[in-house]
Amino acid sequence: MRGRSMTRSRISSTNGIRGVAGNAGARRVVGALAAVALAGSLAACSSDGTSDGAVAPDGAYEDAFAPDQWRDVPTDPQEEYDDSPEQPFQDVTTSPLSTFASDVDTASYSNLRRQLRQGVEPEGVRIEELVNYFDYDYPAPEPDAEDPFTVTTQVADAPWAPGHQLAMIGVQATDVKPTTRGNNVVFLLDVSGSMDEPNKLPLLADSFALLVEQLDEDDTVSIVTYAGSDQVLADSVPGDRRGEIVDILRELRAGGSTGGARGLETAYELAAKNFVEGGNNRVILATDGDFNVGPSTPEQLTELIEEHARTGVYISVLGFGMGNLKDSTMEAIADHGNGNYAYIDTLDEARKVLVDEFDSTMFVVAQDLKVQVELNPATVSQYRLLGYDNRRLEDEEFADDTKDAGDVGAGHEVTAFYELVPAQGSGGDDGLDYQDVEPGSSGDFLTVHVRYKDPGATESTEVVFPAGADTYTTRPTSDFRFASAVVEFALAATGSQHAGDADPARARERAGAALGEDPYGLRAEFVTLVEEYLELTA
């Protein structure tokens, strides 16, 4: 496999989107809502259209999104999102612990960008995915560090809630890959009729061609397509035969219904047949999410994905297109399969996910990473976790090594925000005879507990990071100011019941003043997106 790219070329586009960098995403914990999301999206596509498969010139994909004028209309009702309820404020004396699974998915941000380019109000906005789309300057662990990540905390005032505070927690994974063995990757490509659009199958082919350029003779590539039936187009082709692989991608045609379950089984069979012990064994599913499991039930599909994840074959999901995007299905598949989910709206985004973030997408350094935050009643009276709405865990699940959680890839970052209501004086006499809730004298805001497994391990390790009084500052870093602006915008865009006076215009100004070096224009692009949102909702 080739080394990670240290330079990133820019691709011109008609909508002003620039070359991209940043951090990516792992899975989401899936409960009953995810199973419902899978069940609700099993409609087959019946279109029999065909595509000429030609590679569109740069900008053609963006042209497919560009509206004639801004339209204040909802997203196409065929698009499906899992809108889990947000967390209300919790009382520290009765709920001192907050537990969630790590998440480094970024699909929500690029999907938001696509929706705003269409001129519609965004749906499926997940706060944590917007925040985790960007890079932050967290200290990285030393190459010989005992744990494969560091944890950084910072506390400052909440811009949208006078008297409240924000705690920013950042987990930075090592960029040292856990293995030098080869990649065994299976491309599982949706070529059904619903993919017969310029921003779907042609963009998919161009995107995977970028990925192929990262492979070499130590890697193998298999290609499975599915529509009404599945077809194996390549079986363990050496990665340095790039021309052969790209030719197959260029010849793809769309048409027929969507029979995804059999294609998924075939892809896993190929991955198992070509399994590289100690290497990266992964299925990469590319689809618009209109995924028909045929005769299988959602429970059977979930069982299939989880069974193969336990063998060391993981799955990453790339979403394409608009109109019938099944965001909830793709998120659920990635969750169950120890994978990550990204949405590809432009060739720039493909380069970000498949080239610039190749190592973090492919190589896991910490499995089932869970975070449990213990709030201190001496300094905090109430709190709420911002985002991670379908990643929250029961407190007792933190130490349960059988409970699946998010995996973190090489170089990944995980960022979370808590909104805090400061404690006012001591607890006083609560009138209870048998329970003492008098807070101690510690000035800590909180303590961050992290559990993770080494790749392939079955038992977890816990690491503890206290956030003392010195983590509070009246002059937060540019990373804090920018990331908090992203959160403020997301609170407004989602219509959060706990948004206080969250103002997108103020978020735009704060983000614009905290761009930092921004070598690839990602933060500047966010400022532009907020401006477009303001225009749309004016």
Which has more confidence, 35 or 225?
Answer: 225
- The SS3 assignment for 232 reads strand
pLDDT digits (tens, 9 = 90+) for 252-309: 999 877 667 788 889 999 999 999 998 899 999 999 876 654 534 455 667 778 888 8
Verify that 143 and 278 share a domain, yes or no.
no
Verify that 393 and 460 share a domain, yes or no.
yes
Mean pLDDT in residue range 331-355: 91
Instruction: Give the pLDDT of residue 331.
Output: 86
Q: Using 50, 70 and 90 to split pLDDT, how confident is the model at 165?
A: very high
Which has more confidence, 358 or 426?
Answer: 358
229: in domain: yes
Largest alpha-carbon pair distance within the chain? 78
49: in domain: no
70: in domain: no
Total number of domains constituting the chain: 2
Instruction: Give the pLDDT of residue 58.
Output: 46
How is residue 321 written in tokens?
Answer: 């297109």
325: in domain: yes
Verify that 237 and 321 share a domain, yes or no.
yes
Encode burial over 312-346: b for 16+ CB neighbours within 10 A, e otherwise: bbbbbbbbbbbbbbbbbbbbbbbbbbbbbbbbbbb
- Give the residue from 337, 362, 387 where a domain finishes: 362
Instruction: Give the pLDDT of residue 177.
Output: 84
Instruction: Give the pLDDT of residue 7.
Output: 34
Instruction: Give the pLDDT of residue 403.
Output: 93
Instruction: Using only the alpha carbons of the chain, give its radius of gyration.
Output: 23
- Give the residue from 306, 340, 362 where a domain finishes: 362
Verify that 312 and 386 share a domain, yes or no.
no
Tell me the residue range of the domain where 208 lies.
183-362
Instruction: Give the pLDDT of residue 124.
Output: 92
Verify that 286 and 408 share a domain, yes or no.
no
Verify that 298 and 166 share a domain, yes or no.
no
Instruction: Give the pLDDT of residue 441.
Output: 67
CATH of the domain at 473: 2.60.40.1230
Instruction: Give the pLDDT of residue 259.
Output: 65
Q: How far is CA 86 from CA 36, 83, 278, 398, 497, in A?
A: 18, 9, 39, 20, 9
Verify that 119 and 239 share a domain, yes or no.
no
Distance between CA atoms of 536 and 538, rounded to whole angstroms?
A: 6
pLDDT digits (tens, 9 = 90+) for 116-134: 998 988 899 999 999 999 9
Mean pLDDT in residue range 8-35: 35
For the chain, give the mean pLDDT: 83
Which has more confidence, 519 or 149?
Answer: 149
pLDDT at 499 over 80: yes
CATH of the domain at 329: 3.40.50.410
* Range of lowest pLDDT (6-15, 203-212, 220-229): 6-15
pLDDT digits (tens, 9 = 90+) for 446-495: 999 999 999 889 999 999 999 999 999 999 999 999 999 999 999 999 99
- Give the residue from 321, 337, 362 where a domain finishes: 362
55: in domain: no
Instruction: Give the pLDDT of residue 293.
Output: 45
pLDDT at 2 over 60: no
As a three-state string, the secondary structure of 151-191 is EEEEEEECCCCCCCEEEEEEEEECCCCCCCCCEEEEEEEEC
Instruction: Give the pLDDT of residue 381.
Output: 98
294: in domain: yes
Verify that 357 and 492 share a domain, yes or no.
no
Verify that 221 and 358 share a domain, yes or no.
yes
pLDDT digits (tens, 9 = 90+) for 63-122: 444 444 445 444 445 788 887 899 999 999 999 999 999 988 999 999 999 999 989 888
Verify that 484 and 507 share a domain, yes or no.
yes
Pairing of strands 364-375, 406-409: antiparallel
Verify that 454 and 308 share a domain, yes or no.
no
C-beta of residue 105 within 8 angstroms of C-beta of residue 415 = no
250: in domain: yes
Verify that 343 and 357 share a domain, yes or no.
yes
pLDDT at 437 over 60: no
Which has more confidence, 48 or 524?
Answer: 524
